[in-house]
Chain A
């Protein structure tokens, strides 16, 4: 897609992947941070991890299995948190433990039977090893997220502000809320091969956390978070490949440094004193 700008094929793939993954994750990060469901990041990445190990055990390809189990978990998550009458974060905690246990169980089984399973691609990712189809899938899911946000913007903002008040206003809360959880899970599953399950959390939280330091409205956060994420991720990808550094960790460190800087200069911490 960006070959006309970046002739180097490896660099081009890496930049495209980081561009779409960071754009989609950053848009979702605004919802994740404002709805206080940040545990969804590591729950979904461990669901993908569990899916990958189950798939490998039964002889299926690792990535499709990982995506399948992530989507299955997403379908369970909303109804499960409703039925258990617990905060979504608590349900996510339960699912996280379960998924981790499933992953460890099947890895142990494979080790016992002499089958090998290399989990490093799911844990750490590798931005330069992606297939074209995976980048297209990222582009498609990012477009779907963008369209979903535009179409249901008013419902989403009302739910983010206060789920109960949104329900009282006569909004159909459940379909929109489940839709948000579903999109997060698909985005996580498709982004894992790029930065890995362990670092993906940074993409799902930090862009919004940085934007939050400067923005007073959701609209501004939805603009600033993706802009920051794309700049940082593309810079990380280019620097990583040019200087032979691990792209995922490098980008995560840049994000974290930027967050510290944002907190330091945030106008939200400014104390104004007028004595008249």
Chain B
């Protein structure tokens, strides 16, 4: 299922910047993630958490260092790497009448893997239906995505990335629009994914719905990693807070 490397994500002395920015957003970050790890990335606003995820997904220019995901050099071949990476973005806003159903949006997650000139098969549709049902979206499979609530839309984007069969799963604030019950459901699902050997990296400020398993806590401040250690889920919040205050 996974790429079979010791470290499925390897960032070595990475510096990332946005075009036109005066200073780099990520500074000298080294991070190694093994298959099946559950990683929570915390820290104050503007610390570089989302930028770290975008760097791993190969969506930003890396000015120094190397980023390897599933054996792919993300800097040179981001597109190939992204076919193996699931990434649930933080900010999305779909027009109420955007002409796409939940099923169509989830299917789009598989388009990259299908490649040019290929149509989806019944196996792809099975993956789509399974991902939709895992997120409890079965009754609204044929509904337009723009007519769903923010939380439901968030679940659709998670389903889109599950349908992709990712080898690495990145989620930016996955719990932000979800109610308490749904948070726990999604958390359980993410735990199952990590247990299956797929590393799950989440950027979050909500630490009340973390799965009951070892969690790697990565705290960022001013674009640097100031804490990187394994922790029990109940200690994650305190660790993030104390590391941020101490810095």
Contacts and interface: CB of A to CB of B under 8 A. Distances in A.
Nearest to B81: A170
Contact of A168 (B59, B100, B113): B59
B99 A215 contact: yes
A166 interface: yes
Interface in B96-118: 97-101, 104-105, 108-114, 116-117
A165 B104 contact: no
By size class, the interface of chain A is 20 to 34
A157 B107 CA distance: 11
B213 interface: no
Given A154-B120, A218-B99, A268-B97, A170 B108 contact: no
B166 to A, nearest CB: 10
Contacts of B112: 169-171
B127 interface: no
Contact of A165 (B83, B101, B108): B108
A158 B89 contact: no
A85 B113 CA distance: 28
A86 interface: no
Interface string B67-80: 00000000000011
A170 B104 contact: no
Contacts of B9: none
The interface centre, meaning the residue of B101, B104, B120 with most chain A CB atoms within 10 A of its CB, is: B104
By size class, the interface of chain B is 35 or more
Interface string B145-174: 000000000000100100010000000000
A157 B105 CA distance: 9
Contacts of A134: none
B19 interface: yes
B82 interface: yes
A162 B97 CA distance: 14
Nearest to B57: A168
Interface string B11-30: 00000000110000000000
A217 B143 CA distance: 10
B99 A155 contact: no
A23 to B, nearest CB: 20
A170 B83 contact: yes
Contacts of A170: 79-80, 82-84, 111-113
A85 B117 CA distance: 30
B109 A169 contact: yes
A240 B204 CA distance: 63
Contact of B104 (A157, A166, A171): A157
Contacts of A216: 97, 99, 101, 144
A271 interface: no
Given A154-B114, A165-B108, A169-B108, A212 B97 contact: yes
B79 A172 contact: yes
A158 B99 contact: no
B71 to A, nearest CB: 15
A39 B96 CA distance: 23
B49 to A, nearest CB: 17
Contacts of A169: 82-83, 108-112, 160, 164
Contact of A171 (B57, B85, B87, B111): B111
A245 to B, nearest CB: 35
B82 A155 contact: no
A87 interface: no
Given A154-B108, A168-B59, 16 more contacts: A152-B116, A155-B111, A157-B108, A158-B108, A161-B100, A161-B108, A165-B108, A167-B82, A169-B83, A169-B110, A169-B160, A169-B164, A170-B80, A170-B112, A217-B99, A217-B101
19 contacts: A85-B19, A152-B116, A154-B114, A155-B111, A161-B100, A165-B89, A165-B108, A165-B160, A166-B108, A166-B111, A168-B82, A169-B108, A169-B112, A169-B160, A170-B82, A170-B112, A170-B113, A171-B112, A212-B99
